[in-house]
């Protein structure tokens, strides 16, 4: 760990402040702001089109903001190349090479990160074991199931052992067993101090996060620890509520 990391240790790992971005007539981000601390798993929950992907792309430095700021470890991801050495991203869409095998995809991203051979071998073996992809190393990515593919994409993003991990709907299209496995993996990494920002359209996944933010129309409607949010909602007169009821209620009142 370098001095910069130590210096930033006090600040949030991920900082979004008043992020605004329009695409033509569509407002994707309308002053969205939140923070993710080290060792925290923060869930960005919201329906399709809420602005989750745009927020994650802005934090990864892949789009320019019209206003507000995005910071990763205190650095501007759009202009500071050193961010990418410490950031992992798993985009929502398929982003690996489908004609490459599991092993080839991993090796490619390992080489892009210029990992020394021994380090790469140790990490890839561990990730393959964790994701239970080891028996499929020679299988082409286009022949993997949805869940296996996501686990491979996650492994590729984790090869560099990033300090911050951004995951855009990683559980979308994944069977319940694989979903559970993915969340289990994420919690293991978070325990080691990684800051994880995950977006999901599945309201029920909120309870798996340390904190959640409900996004709608590019704004944060609700934020807090899942259990506390539910308790407050119950006190407001909704007996034994689910997250889905809480979020649908919040969105309904916002519109």
Partner 1 sequence: MTGAALLRSLRRVGAMAGKETIHVRRDPRTLALALVMPVVMLFLFGYGISTDLDHLPLAFADQDRSEASRALARAFEGSREFEVVAHPMTEGVESLFRTGTAVAALVVPRGYQRDLLLGRKAQVQLMLDGADPVVGNQVLAKADAIARAESQRLAGAAFAGLQPPLQVKVWTRYNPEGRSALYMVPGISAFLLAITAVMLTALAIAGEWERGSMEQLFASPVGRLEIVLGKLLPYLALGLLELLLVVAFGALVFDVPIRGSVALVMLFGLVFLAGMLGQGLFISVVARNQLVATQAGALSAMLPSIILSGMIFPIENMPLPLQAISRLIPARYLVHGLRGILLKGNGLGVLWPDLLAMAIFAVGILALATARFKRRVA
* Contacting positions for partner 1 (CB under 8 A): 23, 54, 57, 60-64, 81, 84-85, 87-89, 91, 93-100, 104, 108-109, 111-114, 156, 160
Query: What is the smallest separation between the CB atom of 90 and partner 1, expressed in angstroms?
Result: 8
The nearest distance, CB 81 to partner 1, in angstroms, is: 7
Q: Which is nearer to partner 1, 6 or 93 (CB)?
A: 93
Please identify, using beta-carbon distances, which residue of 64 and 191 lies nearer to partner 1: 64
Of residues 116 and 135, the one with the C-beta less far from partner 1? 116
In whole angstroms, the minimum distance from the beta carbon of 98 to partner 1 comes to: 7
Supply the minimum distance, in Å, between the C-beta of residue 222 and partner 1: 27
Sheet containing strand 87-90, strands side by side: 87-90, 164-168, 195-200, 41-45, 211-216, 219-224
From 171, 102, 187, select the one nearest 110 (Cα to Cα). 102
Q: Provide the CA 90 distance to its chain's centre, in angstroms.
A: 7
> Among residues 46, 21, 57, 62, which one has the least CA distance to residue 223?
46
> Which of residues 88 and 226 has its CB atom nearest to partner 1 in the complex?
88
Task: Choose among 192, 188, 190, 254: nearest CA to 222.
Answer: 254
Nearer to partner 1, 154 or 182 (CB): 154
d(Cα 105, Cα 52) in Å, to the nearest integer?
A: 26
Q: Quick one: how many helices (H) and strands (E) in the chain?
A: 8, 9
Q: Report in angstroms how near the CB of residue 250 gets to partner 1 at its nearest.
A: 28
Q: Which of 233, 232, 210, 213 is nearest to 222 (CA)?
A: 213
């Amino acid at each position: 760990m370098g001095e910069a990391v130590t210096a930033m240790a006090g600040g949030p790992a991920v900082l979004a402040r008043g992020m605004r971005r329009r695409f033509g007539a569509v407002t994707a981000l309308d002053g969205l702001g939140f923070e993710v601390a080290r060792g925290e798993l923060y869930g960005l929950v919201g329906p399709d089109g809420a602005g989750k992907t745009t927020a994650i792309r802005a934090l990864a430095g892949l789009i320019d903001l019209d206003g507000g700021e995005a910071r990763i470890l205190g650095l501007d991801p759009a202009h500071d190349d050193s961010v990418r050495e410490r950031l992992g991203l798993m985009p929502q869409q398929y982003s690996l090479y489908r004609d490459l095998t599991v092993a080839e995809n991993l090796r490619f991203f390992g080489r892009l990160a210029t990992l020394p051979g021994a380090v790469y071998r140790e990490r890839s073996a561990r990730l393959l074991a964790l994701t239970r992809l080891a028996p499929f190393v020679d299988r082409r990515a286009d022949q993997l199931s949805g869940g296996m593919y996501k686990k491979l994409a996650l492994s590729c993003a984790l090869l560099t052992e990033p300090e911050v991990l951004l995951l855009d709907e990683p559980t979308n299209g994944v069977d319940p067993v694989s979903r559970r496995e993915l969340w289990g993996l994420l919690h293991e990494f978070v325990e080691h101090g990684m800051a994880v920002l995950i977006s999901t359209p599945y309201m029920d996944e909120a309870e798996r996060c340390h904190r959640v933010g409900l996004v709608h129309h590019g704004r944060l409607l609700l934020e807090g620890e899942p259990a506390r949010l539910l308790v407050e909602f119950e006190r407001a007169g909704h007996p034994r509520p689910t997250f889905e009821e809480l979020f649908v209620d919040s969105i309904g009142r916002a519109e």
